[in-house]
Structures are given as C-alpha cells and as structure tokens.
Amino acid sequence: MSKANVRRQLVLLEKNKVPKEKTTTTLSPNFSYKHLKRIYPIGLHKSSSSSSLSLSSLSLSLSENSIDSSSINDSTSPLDQKISLALRLIAPPPQRRESPVAKVFQQQSQSFQDTDNGELRRCNWITKNSDKVYVAFHDECWGVPVYDDNQLFELLALSGMLMDHNWTEIVKRRELFREAFSGFDPNTVAKMGEKEIEEIASNKAIMLPDCKVRCIIDNAKCILKIVRECGSFSSYMWGSVNHKPVINRFRYPRNVPLRSPKAEAMSKDLIKRGFRYVGPVIVYSFMQAAGLTIDHLVDCYRYSECVSLAERPWRRI
C-alpha cells in the first residue's frame, strides 16, 4: 500500500470518531477535585437521576437539617458553596472529652454511696436510728470551720452541756438556748442578772440548772476580756491551731480521741482566764464541732467537703 492510501485511511478513521461531550465547571482558581478527594474521598457529580450522591441531594439534606448557609461568602461560585456545605455535613462531630476533675468527683461520690440502701455514707456513729436533728447537725454543722464570735460562744456553751446530755438532746433544744441567751451575744449575756438567771433556770423546756446558767454568763464576761486583748474571740481560738484547722484521717470511731494536746493546752489557758466547764474533753468536743479539727471519718461524705474548707488559704481574723 502506498503512502497516499495509508494517509487516506487515517483521515477516514478520524472522521468516524464520535466526539466526547465536554463539560465545563466553574471553580475557584486554586480548587482541585484531586485535592478534594484526597481529603474527603467522595465523588461529586452533576445532578442526575442515576447519581448515588449528588450535590443537589447534599444541598437538600443540608436544608432539612437547618444548617445556615448564609455564612458562605457570597463572592464564591454556587458549586463552591455546595462543596463547602457538603464538607460540613460529612465532617464528624467533635467528641466531648470528660474532664479528669469531673471523673474524680464522680468516683468520689460513688465511693460515698452506701451499697445497702444507696444513701450517703456518714460517720459510723450516725445510724438508722439516729434522730434527724442529730443527722442534720452532723451534715451541716459538725466539722465546719466557724469564725463568728457568737457562734463560737454558742458551741462552747453547748459543748459544756455534754457533761449531762448528748448531742441529740442538746441540738433539739438549740433554738431554745439561742432565745434564752439572746443569740449568744457575749455583750448581752454578760449583763444578765438574777432575774434572767431565774427565768432561764425555771424553764423546764430548757432543762438547764442554775449553776450552768451562771457558768455561761461568767464565760461571756471572760470572752469580753479576750476581745479587748486579742481583738476577737475567734482570733484567740484559732490562734491555738495556728489559724488553720487540724485535719485528721481517722478510719474507725475507735481512732477518734477524746482529747488532744492542743485541747489540753487550750483548756489550761481558758481555765487560767476564768472560764468554767472547759476541761480537755469538753474543749476537744468544741474543737470538733467548730471545725478547729476535722474528725469526720475518711469514708464519710462530709470529710472531703470539710477538708476542702479547711485547706482554703486563711487569713487571720
């Protein structure tokens, strides 16, 4: 075959070829399908009935999920907008990581749950038969640091009554004591005379003998002397523990002492200043109630709460 015949056949073949349909798509200058597929391996095609995933179907899904498309820059092309919305739809939602602190608190709260009845675990001397008033005193007052002079005077007076009564009996009449002794304001109590003493001692609901009433009044007068010397009764009391609660880690009731060296030292100084009914055992009970020492058992739910209060940075009062 001559070269002319070969050339003629090639021309005929070129004419019989079917030209491919070219599609033009307007994209931003730096946009690349190859780059898009490398990040999100999905196919983006023109809308058609045979497309398994099309831009129009993605746009419909986005509108149904109320995703605001107004944040897309208006200067971009419609295809760029659809691609951006599609990427937002496909992107996995951010996972919330649980805080380590929250996990610790959750574990602590679970450890303080009583496995028998699901109630909070308290100190062992709080039982099912304990009076609700005493339980409330344990949960809300006992071991909480107190810095108010009147409240400290009240707890010192109530602790002195432990010689004849228990905490349940004392706490039940707490409001009666507050009313009889004017909220345990040392300035008012120190001025009480024979008339007030007789009225309080004769009140059968209070059940406080004459000698105890006089003791509380005498202690109020001693507190006023301390206020003039130290600035406040609170400053004097907290000075005995270096202005920071003593934190113990007792696991069993038998480990909790009836007295301590600090209580003995405080008792001696109070007696020297003229206070009455302030032996080492009474003073230590006062320290426990006023939060000068933390004696909740370590598995009691109140232990960590009182310790967190005790470990705050304190300033002298």
DSSP string, 93-114: PPPPPPPHHHHHHHHHHHHTB-
| 283 neighbors 267 (Cβ within 8 angstroms) | yes
Count of Cβ atoms closer than 10 Å to residue 83 Cβ: 21
Q: Which amino acid is at 104?
A: V
3-state secondary structure of 113: strand
Which residues 6+ apart lie within 8 Å of 229 measured at CB? 236
Here the tokens at position 136 are 């409330």
CA-wise closest residue to 226 among 218, 234, 214: 234
Here the tokens at position 92 are 């996995």
236/229 Cα distance (integer angstroms): 9
Q: Is 243 annotated as a binding residue?
A: no
204/272 Cα distance (integer angstroms): 33
3-state secondary structure of 105: helix
Here the tokens at position 298 are 């370590």
57/41 Cα distance (integer angstroms): 17
Q: Is 123 annotated as a binding residue?
A: yes
Residue list for the binding site:
123, 138, 296, 300
Residue list for the binding site for Zn(2+):
123, 138, 296, 300
